[in-house]
Structure 1
Amino acid sequence: MSDAQTLIENRPPSVAGLFLERVTATPDAEAYRYPVPSSAGQGPDDWKSLNWAQAAERVYAIAAGLIELGVRPEQRVALAAGTRIEWILADLGIMCAGAATTTVYPQTNADESAYILSDSESRVLIAENAEQLAKAKEKRAELPELTHVVVIDAAGVETADWILTLDELEKRGAARLEKDPDLVKERVGAITKDQLATLIYTSGTTGRPKGVRLPHDNWSYMAKAIAATGLVSTEDVQYLWLPLAHVFGKVLTSGQIEVGHVTAVDGRVDKIIENLPVVQPTYMAAVPRIFEKVYNGVAAKARAGGGAKYKIFQWAAEVAREYAKVSQDNFRRTGTASVPFGLGAKHKVADALVFAKIREAFGGNLRACVSGSAALAPEIGYFFSGAGIHILEGYGLTESSAASFVNPGEAYRTGTVGKPLPGTEVRIADDGEILLRGPGVMEGYHNLPEKTAEVLEPDGWFHTGDIGELSPDGYLRITDRKKDLIKTSGGKYIAPAEVEGQFKAVCPYVSNILVHGADRNFCTALIALDEVAITDWAKDNGLEGKPYAEIVASPVTVEMVDGYVKQLNEGLQRWQTIKKFRLLPRDLDVEHGEITPSLKLKRPVVEREYKHLIEEMYDGSREA
């Protein structure tokens, strides 16, 4: 048996147990960093640290406080907050009480929040602030199971018998622990591996979200499997900004506990650029949209610097891609990422002119990024690879505890999601669907046995709904969502995500794109532009000071985007080409339900919202 197998098979029943082990092993080692506003209220934030022992003191107090409120094992405690240190401490407190966390995105509206709280039968809600509390107050009559709300930020909050602050909860817990010091350890010791730990509601594109039941063993397995990959070490500093209500963010907290490295946590997306030089992370997980925004921002900045600067950038980008493709190909064949002398010399010049500045913007210490949640356009992946920002694409679903595949360090291959984590099995069904089996797969959907039976076979194989291909040496390439494949009226199949990804690599101004063409005789696209990038472009094109909607409606903007669409079409098969497109009057967003909080496109919602534009593009065309 390999060391990895031994590590995984001898896992404890819960991450709560792993947390206790970590605190005992390295109590004085730094665990978390988090920002607090500077004392003057202006300028950059101050960053504070917690070591494992200090984190444990708060976690145990939260756990004991919840027990004091009457929370019993497996009962649900909902957590509606952004990514911040208190989210992690509260989640660990819930698990150490033997209870289960129901995650709720802070952007979720009152109706859907109430549905999640009701369906999960959550007894306590830990709410970030007065805004999240207001949703519970509005729907309290519909939530007979909800006995208490605990508020993290108490500003503007009036406490009551059923409303208390997190600080008050921790004080109650600390008082209980003085009388019963072994309370939390006894609760953790009683946790079984199949006991519910987390209930995550998937943001479905239609209908009500489904609650995915993830028992403690899922997270314990994930923690050990991540450690077994060898991708992270105790010396690492992780920058964690992803939504912790999403399974991708949540799994990163489990891996950190097992490995014991530092995590800097701050979910404010508008602070990422400011935080990177301060945190100086060695690794960071992100969704493709972030890399697309960085790439588009660099390209737009180069263009704004004048023709010569933009030509240098375009040249450097081609050098980066060629360098990445050649070095990855050589590593695959020989085990050495070598390149010809001439290419190496060009790369050295491009590095001094362009790439070094990009690495500096990421903090200067970045070893690797992990990208997941959606497909990263290969041309953007190759660009960053050649620039020295190594993006290890991974793959997983809420139903598989997030991390089922990840690219293996130096041997990573852009355009694939790597190999299965140790202990996870994969096979490709006859129709191309990816099937998974292993300790990371969910127990099922909450209160939905029929829906569970649709995707989970009796022998444990889970139907992902994604289409993919396995290389002879085990690397997986995702080609599309099974339900998203387009079949034209001419009988040709098209993977829209592939075309959309290629356009994102070509056009530096795009934010979101949706390719449409099911049962039509040609493909069209709805395109939303990035507000910052297109506003900068507008300054040099006679549109300075115009609002976004006017900029995108301008013929000069349409003409500019048309040039990029033609460039895209040159690299596509005839039946894949975009014959017509429309620019949207605003970008797609979470608030309108057009993209998920993890920034994935909700196709049916967008197609329904902009049906008139789609029909306009096909008006007068002859449908076969």
Structure 2
Amino acid sequence: ILPDYLLPSLPSSSSFSLSSLSRSPSSLLGIGALASLTAYWLVTRPRPMHPPCDLNAQSIAVQVRALCSGIRSRHGLFTRHARVYLMILKPGEPYQWISYTEVAEQAQVLGSGLLGKGCQPNPEQFIGIFAQNRPEWIISELACYTFSMAVVPLYDTLGEEAMVHILNLAEISLVICDKEEKAESLLGNKEKGVTPTLSCLVIFNDCSDAIVERGKNCGVEILELTQLMHIQLVCHLYYPLCNRFMYQFFLSISQGSFFIRQEDVSISYLPLAHMFERMIQVVSMFCHGARVGFYQGDISLLMDDIKTLKPTFFPVVPRLLNRIYDKILGSVTSPLRRAVLHYAVRRKQAELSSGVVRNNSLWDRLVFNRIQANLGGNLRFILTASAPISPTVLSFLRATLGCLIFEGYGQTECTAGCTFSMPGDWSAGHVGAPLPCAMVKLVDIPDMNYYAKNGEGEICIRGHSVFRGYLKDEEKTAEALDSDGWLHSGDVGQWLLNGTLRIIDRKKHIFKLSQGEYIAPERIENVYMRCVPVLQVFVHGDSLKSHLIGIVVPDPEVFNDWVKERGIIGSYKELCQHPDVKKAVLEDMTAIGKEAGLKSFEQVKDLHLHPEMFSVSNGLLTPTLKSRRVDIRRVFQEQITNMYRIKLKRYP
């Protein structure tokens, strides 16, 4: 109890009364204004997303609701929404939208034409598609599914030897191409006599008389797509029975608070030759009647296409997100602006930790508006997959882009996905919980000291989404699938306490150093990718050597400024050859490695700076932008040998 002399004195009752206060007009106005503001805040305050399950127990099975009861094929998923609109962007032209009904009709006509050319309506009939992402790709694919035929995607970077192997293994007689140049490359193999089953090439665009004559001379009929579609053949539809997994996979990411609407728009630029992009379109877009726009075919114009299309859904690979992250940080040069950026990111991340995801906060308007506008300004969600992404990059972009960013994990053999991060869980450093279409378990890897009893081991997947095997290759099938139907992924995972899965290592690309230490180079590369001057990195080790070396491609957009801050000036190529620059990059990588917990033997001790990016066109990246490790080793063999020949200074 306070002493009397510490209590505030009140006016006497003659000069003050509660009743007189309540009748004061200014007081009433103030109370009304306060009530209005409170009501407005209650109505407009940001609300956290409600997760579809307990985020502390994400791998416990729960009942899900079927959204498309009775649908068991991709054809069925597509025709479910045959009344709404689809895609189309042609180079140099504005976006034009065509309806799902038109696409379905064209697919049926094209499929009828395929039957007219002797193709059989069964899953053992393989049709090749050798093209970039275009509406005709989807029409051709749907034509095959409409009549139960199987699609075999082909792409440039397979190389001639692999292309010939695929054509012969699948006994492909008909290939659909987007350009005459691709048809010519296939004709070259036919003329050599190495693809005897090839008898017909269909080209999206107009074709010249010269290529028609060339095909005739080697027994290959050359047709334009419109010619094939004019072949009249009355036929019945054959609904495929082999795509049952599509239905279960679709259910998996359509539950809870993450829904795709017919108004949503996605951009198609990741290769349709790979399962990730095809599942994005089927599972995320087509079965909901949403729209898909195709990029112009030139990856350098992708950002222009995005600004034009204004997608709400953006599937990406981590390399692209890393580039966006680097560009944002590289564009903020002054200490004051950088401090404001990081403060704004921390405020947005605080909202994320409470489950709030939005793009209309004060910080979005003041700091992040231009960043979001560069990606069209309408993004609702992003999905990243195909490779690990740094938790730092993921958390940063979730704050700056103001949209949902999900991370998934899987591989082609399990129809692209087996785990998916949960709506409402905005923590980073994991790939989510198993999808309803898949069971996931970990098995021991004694050589690497990973044991399932400790919640670590090789990731194995079983379920409707897992493939039945490799075509006519029982040996490779037996290596991938065990007797109980579990697919062995070659990735090493760790169960977290909340039921999510973390990818911690790679079994297939592991090697030993001379002292007996196991090295997982991809994990180390993902750490070094966080370095500001580093765009791409390849970590190499030799079982006869005790240390690692690296091939580093500096980021040309930030490299010169980064080096200039250290007092070194020169052109991009000159800087790549400067010994002090190499030392500075190596020191920066070592520091980042220490922060990430890399052991001393996991740090590269020397590196070579290379001025040209690893790319699909130069054969150093796969179409899914993963490193071709064997090819990179071959190309840089001289530099690798020289680095090992020199007595290396060991950095701590």
What interval of TM-score do these two structures reach, taking the shorter chain for normalisation?
0.7 to 0.9
* Preserved CA contact (<8 Å) 2:133 2:269: yes
Q: CA deviation at 1:93?
A: 0.9
- CA RMSD between the two structures: 3.1
**Structure 2: unaligned runs, 5 residues or longer:** 1-60, 446-456
| Amino acid of the structure 1 residue aligned with 2:492 | I
CA deviation profile, 1:157-184 (whole Å, cap 9, x unmatched) = 6436600011111222xx33xxx3xx35
Q: Which secondary structure does the structure 1 equivalent of 2:263 belong to?
A: coil
Provide TM-score, normalisation by structure 2: 0.79
C-alpha distance in structure 2 between counterparts of 1:538 and 1:86, whole Å: 47
CA separation in 2, counterparts of 1:390 and 1:228? 15
Given that residues 437 and 463 in structure 2 are in contact (C-alpha distance below 8 angstroms), is that contact kept between their aligned partners in structure 1? yes
Inter-CA distance 234–218: structure 2 relative to 1 (3 Å threshold): same
Indicate whether 1:19 and 2:19 are aligned: no
Q: Does 1:192 pair with 2:241?
A: yes
Equivalence map 1:268-307=2 (5 Å): 268-303=298-333
1:609 to 1:410, Cα distance in 2 relative to 1, 3 A: same
Are 2:150 and 1:97 equivalent residues in the alignment? Answer: no
- Determine if contact 1:152/1:165 at 8 Å carries over to the other structure: yes
2:639 counterpart of 1:613 = yes
Matches within 5 A, 1:71-470: 71-72=119-120, 73-74=122-123, 75-140=125-190, 141-154=193-206, 156=208, 158-159=211-212, 162-172=221-231, 175-176=232-233, 180=234, 183-184=235-236, 186-188=237-239, 191-193=240-242, 216-228=243-255, 230-255=258-283, 256-266=285-295, 267-303=297-333, 308=334, 312-313=337-338, 316-317=341-342, 320=345, 324=349, 326=350, 330-331=353-354, 336-337=355-356, 351-352=364-365, 354-387=367-400, 388-431=402-445, 432-470=457-495
Task: State how 1:484-523 maps to structure 2 within 5 Å.
Answer: 484-507=509-532, 509-517=533-541, 519=543, 520-523=545-548
Q: Is the contact made by 1:277 and 1:363 (CA closer than 8 Å) also made in structure 2?
A: yes
Note if contact 2:554-2:611 (Cα within 8 Å) is conserved in structure 1: no
Relative distance call for 1:511 and 1:263 in structure 2 (3 A) is same
Q: Tell me if the contact between 1:551 and 1:557 (Cα under 8 Å) persists in the aligned partners.
A: yes
Alignment-mate amino acid for residue 159 of structure 1 = V
Whether 1:474 and 2:524 are equivalent positions in the alignment is no
1:117 shift after superposition: 1.4
CA contact (8 A) 1:283 1:369 kept: yes
Q: 1:237 to 1:149 in 2, by over 3 A?
A: same
Task: Tell me if structure 2 keeps the 8 A contact 1:321–1:385.
Answer: no
Question: Residues 115 and 33 from structure 1, CA distance in 2 versus in 1: closer, same or farther, beyond 3 angstroms?
Answer: same
Which amino acid is the alignment partner of residue 238 of structure 2? Answer: R
**Deviation per residue, 1:555-576 (Å, 9 max, x gap):** 4643552352243244133333
Q: C-alpha distance in 2, partners of 1:597/1:568?
A: 29
Aligned-residue sequence identity (percent) comes to 26
Deviations 1:355-384 (A, max 9, x none): 222111111111111001111122111110
- TM-score, normalised to structure 1, is 0.82
Question: Residues of 2 paired with 1:518 and 1:232: CA distance?
Answer: 48
Moved more, 566-575 or 460-469: 566-575
Aligned match of 2:94: 46
Q: Which amino acid aligns with 1:511?
A: L
Paired position in structure 1 for 2:605: 579
User: Do the aligned partners of residues 322 and 382 (structure 1) sit closer, same or farther apart at CA in structure 2, a change above 3 Å counting?
Assistant: farther
Q: Tell me, which stretches of 5 or more residues in structure 1 are unaligned?
A: 39-44, 194-215
Return the alpha-carbon distance in structure 1 between the equivalents of residues 77 and 351 of structure 2: 39
Give the counterpart letter for 1:398 in structure 2: T
Q: Do the aligned partners of 1:220 and 1:254 also contact (CA within 8 Å) in 2?
A: no
Q: Which residue of 2 aligns with 1:4?
A: 64
Cα pair 2:527 2:593 within 8 Å, conserved: no
Distance 2:142 2:564 in 1: 49
Distance 1:130 1:116 in 2: 20
SS at 1:451 equivalent: helix
1:49 is paired with a residue of what secondary structure? coil
Q: Which residue is equivalent to 1:213? A: none
Q: 1:128 to 1:478 in 2, by over 3 A?
A: same
Decide whether aligned partners of structure 1 residues 239 and 169 sit closer, same or farther in structure 2, where only a CA change above 3 A counts. Answer: same
Q: Distance in 2 between matches of 1:484 and 1:323?
A: 38
3-state DSSP of counterpart to 2:424: helix
1:549-560 alignment runs, 5 A limit: 549-555=573-579, 557-560=581-584
Q: 1:400 to 1:463 in 2, by over 3 A?
A: same
User: How much has 1:84 moved relative to structure 2?
Assistant: 1.2
Q: Deviations along 1:56-102, whole A, 9 cap, x unmatched?
A: 12111111111111111221110000111111111111111221100
CA distance 1:611–1:322, change in 2 (3 Å): farther
Q: 1:447 to 1:578 in 2, by over 3 A?
A: same
CA gap of 1:560–1:171, structure 2 versus 1, over 3 A, is farther
Offset at residue 502 of structure 1 (A): 2.4
1:3 CA drift (Å): 6.3
SS of residue in 1 equivalent to 2:81: helix
Q: 1:505 to 1:150 in 2, by over 3 A?
A: same
Q: Which has the larger radius of gyration?
A: 2
Q: Which amino acid aligns with 1:244?
A: L
Q: Residue 239 of structure 1 aligns to which amino acid in structure 2?
A: I
- C-alpha deviation, 1:435, in angstroms: 0.5
Superimposed CA distance per residue, residues 571-604 of structure 1 (whole angstroms, 9 cap, x where no aligned partner) = 1333333322211242222234321111001223
Q: CA deviation at 1:605?
A: 2.4
Higher helix share: 1
Structure 2 partner of 1:206: none
Q: Distance in 1 between matches of 2:600 and 2:102?
A: 61
8 A Cα contact 1:133 1:149, kept in partner: yes
Letter of the 1:167 counterpart: T
Letter in 1 for 2:134: R
Q: Structure 1 CA distance, aligned partners of 2:348 and 2:542? A: 37
For this pair of structures, how many residues does the alignment match?
560
What's the offset of the Cα at 1:315?
5.7
- 2: distance between equivalents of 1:466 and 1:407? 18
Are residues 418 and 164 of structure 1, via their aligned partners in 2, closer, same or farther at CA, if it must alter by over 3 Å? same
CA contact (8 A) 1:531 1:587 kept: no
Structure 1's 610 and 433: CA in aligned 2 closer, same or farther, altered over 3 A?
Answer: same
Q: Residues 365, 3 of structure 1: CA spacing in aligned structure 2 closer, same or farther, 3 A cutoff?
A: farther
Q: Report the 3-state secondary structure (helix = DSSP H, G, I; strand = E; otherwise coil) of the residue aligned with 1:514.
A: strand
| CA distance in structure 2 between the partners assigned to 1:420 and 1:3 by the alignment | 14
For 1:113 and 1:56, locate their aligned partners in 2 and report how far apart those are by CA, in whole Å: 30
1:424–1:578 distance in 2 versus 1, CA, 3 Å:
same
Name the CA shift for 1:426/1:129 in 2 (closer, same or farther; >3 Å). Answer: same
Q: In 2, Cα distance between the equivalents of 1:533 and 1:620?
A: 30
Indicate conservation of the 8 Å contact 1:113/1:135, yes or no: no
Structure 2: distance between partners of 1:419 and 1:478:
12
**Matched residue type, 1:407:** S
Tell me the CA shift for residue 127 of structure 1: 0.7
- Contact kept, 8 Å, 2:264 with 2:311, in 1: the verdict is yes
**By how many angstroms is 1:392 displaced?**
1.1
- Helix, strand or coil: the match of 2:539? strand
SS in 2 for 1:227: coil
- The separation in 1 between residues aligned to 2:344 and 2:591, in whole angstroms, is 19
Query: Structure 1 residues 568, 217: closer, same or farther in 2, change over 3 A?
Result: same
